[in-house]
Amino acid sequence: MAKEDVIVIGSGGGGAVIAKELGEMGLKVLVLEAGPWYGNKKWQNPNLQPGAKISSTFDDLDVSLYKQLVNKYEQNMNDLVSGRFRWGPADRSRSQWFRNIKQKGMIWQSSGVGGTTQVYTANCPRAFPMAVDHVWPLSYLELIPYYEKVEDTLPVNFAPTTAKEELFYYGAKKAGWHLIPTLDVTVPGFRPQPNAILPPNNNILNPHVRLEELSWMEGCTLAGHCVNGCPHGPSMDKIAKRSTNVSYVPLALKTSNVTIRPNAFVLKIVTDIDSSEGLRAIGVVIRDTWTGEKEELQAKVVVMAAGSIESPRLWMNSGLPHNPWVGKGLVNHYMDWLTGIFAEKELMPILGSSDVNPFVGHTCGARLDYPGLGTLQTVGMSPGLTASFFGMSESGYDFLTSSMTKGRLYGDELKEVMTNYRRTLSVLVSTDDEVDPQNGITLDPLISDEHGSVPVVAYKPTKRSKRKRSELVKIAVDILYKAGAKKIIWSNWPAGNMIHMESTMRMGFVVDENCESYDVKRLYIADNSVHYNSLGGPNPTLTTQALATRTAEKLFNKYF
Ligand SMILES: Cc1cc2nc3c(=O)[nH]c(=O)nc-3n(C[C@H](O)[C@H](O)[C@H](O)COP(=O)(O)OP(=O)(O)OC[C@H]3O[C@@H](n4cnc5c(N)ncnc54)[C@H](O)[C@@H]3O)c2cc1C
Ligand code: SF4
């Protein structure tokens, strides 16, 4: 049986990064991805036909095919059941992969090459230093060179200002907040979003360049709808939104050392006992999601990057040693959503226009960071997604006053808000929620699918997390009113809305500070699950990518 140097499980936020780094070090890497691959010549109809088995050359990437498959239509891309970015196998005659979530809410994750970064909004803030220093088993200073490497590679830029950011900055300044001029956030304040989106195309205002031509040039078109997928750019490695399938994956393939196999669900980590190392990982068992065939593959080192739910599930389904922290301590940035509705006469003097048009520009172009509490971000989602968010609430139908509505919107009230959609500004709350061992992933004792026992996902915020979220909600309300909102909708999202899952295989408990498992040698983890906590509230992916870059170095030095 051929032996790889390293097998990486998952090609999303973390997996694609460690594959590229190890490939550049000259190691032979096999990436196993459970979902489909969009934009590779070897999979012309990825949701209809099995296509090829593997791809290992950059020349297989095909931007025309990618643009044909990835468009901005909300339902096409983001319908959680049938959209291209759903959580399930490529084959559309089969259902999604089931997770048992015993509370209100939803789990928003994607399968496929690029993982959930295919749909993410590309915000790339660093963790708050105070959430890392003297808390994590490594210092913030140690992370900085790895942050810098990822920021250069993606690359990370500051978001340009469109109307919704301008309105947010206006409100934030009137509410007494100041601009933070640094990436390392130690005091509260607002700033443009650091994100992995290429700067705006120089021809945006050129009337002689047609929209179709613009979309084939390098740079962001500011046309918005980034969550539905970004099809703008001249080649697969120059797409404006730098999801890992268009950034790290092309770079990994360029090393000629990395092979990627989509439609391959890893069922089990295979181990043996070595006289000097003890229990160690030696390979995996996979299941081809089209044919159902199983296969064992071997490697000198195995890296789990299947995400914060599937990595602990895989550990437990593989029967690896019991560790009380496997799957435990899930954090989720305990989120909330508020929307201000503005009148034309309020907007004109601030924006010089009667509309905000929140879908224009980067989805989350501005943020307010508050070390100790968490973060606020502007969010300009497409209208269908926005409307669906008004249907999610912990409080049911709970109307407060005429200028503030809390709870779920429906009927005439939803119609009224959506009629005013172009004059709204929405703010997402991301709390610095506490690690609590009661929260996390366990295996369902009764329900299995073709990949083993399904995960049960449970999350209940602690008292302190609830208090922090309330403080952030108050700040958001104040900013929206100061910006001139005539009415605010406070959604009061249920705690079960899972978008930023982290910390289920914590550093210092399940893995050491180099992200190697304490219990199984040669088994590393390179996804959100290794975070020690919720980073203070900032979006998680950049930190996962910095850690994956560091883990590659540590793994290489120890075993090769
Ligand atoms: C709408 C939305 C917006 C977001 N915006 C941002 C943002 O702006 N900034 C930010 O930092 N974060 C954002 N996030 C979160 C971000 O997407 C995640 O932090 C990031 O993708 C996590 O990386 P990961 O490697 O842990 O998991 P994933 O990216 O989910 O990758 C895991 C991969 O492993 C594969 N896999 C799972 N199990 C197996 C198995 N057994 N065998 C083989 N393959 C397997 C999956 O198919 C998937 O491709 C957003 C998320 C959503 C849903
Ligand atoms: S706004 Fe920019 S990043 Fe977003 S989808 Fe459009 S081109 Fe892509």
Atom of ligand 2 nearest to the CA of 72: 5
Q: Residue 334: what pLDDT?
A: 98
501 CA: nearest ligand 1 atom: 19
For residue 199, what pLDDT is reported?
97
Q: Crossing angle, helix 163-174 and helix 344-351, to 10 degrees?
A: 90
Distance 116 CA to ligand 1 centre (A): 3
Q: What atom of ligand 1 comes closest to residue 538's alpha carbon?
A: 11
Residue showing tokens 């498959």: 69
Per-residue pLDDT tens digits for 89-128: 999 999 999 999 988 889 999 999 999 999 999 999 999 9
Q: Is the pLDDT of residue 22 over 70?
A: yes
* Residue 130 pLDDT greater than 80, yes or no: yes
From the CA of 526, give the closest atom in ligand 1: 25
Predicted pLDDT of residue 395: 85
pLDDT tens track for 270-329: 999 999 999 999 999 999 999 999 999 999 999 999 999 999 999 999 999 999 999 999
- Asked whether the predicted pLDDT for residue 16 surpasses 90, the reply is yes
Considering every ligand atom, which ligand is closest to the CA of 269?
A: 1
Ligand found nearest the CA of 359 = 2
* Residue to mutate, 87, 96, 99, 116, ligand 1, most ligand atoms under 8 Å from C-beta: 116
Please give the distance, rounded to the nearest whole angstrom, from the Cα atom of residue 250 to the centre of ligand 1: 18
**What pLDDT does residue 464 have?**
98
Q: What is the secondary structure of 58-107 as a DSSP string?
A: GGGB-HHHHHHH----HHHHH-TTTSTT-SS-S-TTS-PPP-EE-SSEEE
Ranking 272-281, 406-415, 475-484, 537-546 by mean pLDDT, the lowest is 406-415
Q: Which ligand is nearest to the CA of 225?
A: 2
**Whole-model pTM over 0.85:** yes
For the CA of 195, the nearest atom of ligand 1 = 8
pLDDT digits 0-9 by tens, 25-53? 999 999 999 999 999 999 999 999 999 99
Instruction: Kindly list the protein residues whose Cβ atom lies closer than 6 A to any atom of ligand 2.
Output: 197, 220-226, 230, 232, 240-241, 362
| From 120, 215, 226, 238, mutation site for ligand 2 pocket: most ligand atoms within 8 A of C-beta | 226
The Cα 142–Cα 159 span in angstroms is 26
* Sign of the Cα pseudo-torsion (508, 512, 514, 516, in order): negative
Q: Are 16 and 252 in contact (CB under 8 A)?
A: yes
Q: Take atom 2 of ligand 2 and give the residue whose Cα is closest.
A: 220
- Taking Cα atoms as reference points, which of 558, 541, 551, 537 lies closest to residue 507? 551
pLDDT of the residue at 400: 66
Q: Are 194 and 124 in contact (CB under 8 A)?
A: yes
Task: List CB contacts of 113: < 8 A, sequence separation 6 or more.
Answer: 11, 16, 33, 35, 36, 37, 38, 40, 245, 249, 260, 262
The pLDDT of residue 2: 63
Query: What's the gap in Å between 512 CA and the centre of ligand 2?
Result: 38
Q: Which ligand has the shortest distance to the CA of 543?
A: 1
Residue nearest to atom 52 of ligand 1 (CA): 120
DSSP state of 237: G
List the single range of 228-237, 408-417, 481-490 with lowest mean pLDDT.
Answer: 408-417
Rounded to the nearest whole angstrom, what is the distance from the C-alpha of residue 156 to the centroid of ligand 2? Answer: 14
| Stretch 521-539: mean pLDDT | 98
Pocket residue to mutate for ligand 1, from 117, 530, 549, most atoms within 8 A of Cβ: 117
Mean pLDDT, all residues of the chain: 96
CA-nearest residue, atom 51 of ligand 1: 120
Q: CA-to-CA distance for 78 and 229, rounded, in angstroms? A: 9
DSSP structure string for 422-465: GGEEEEEEEE-PPP-TTSEEEEEEEEEETTEEEEEEE----HHH
Separation between Cα atoms, residue 292 and residue 89, nearest integer Å: 11
pLDDT at 1: 58
% of the chain residues with pLDDT over 70: 99
Q: How far is the CA of 30 from the centre of ligand 1 (A)?
A: 19
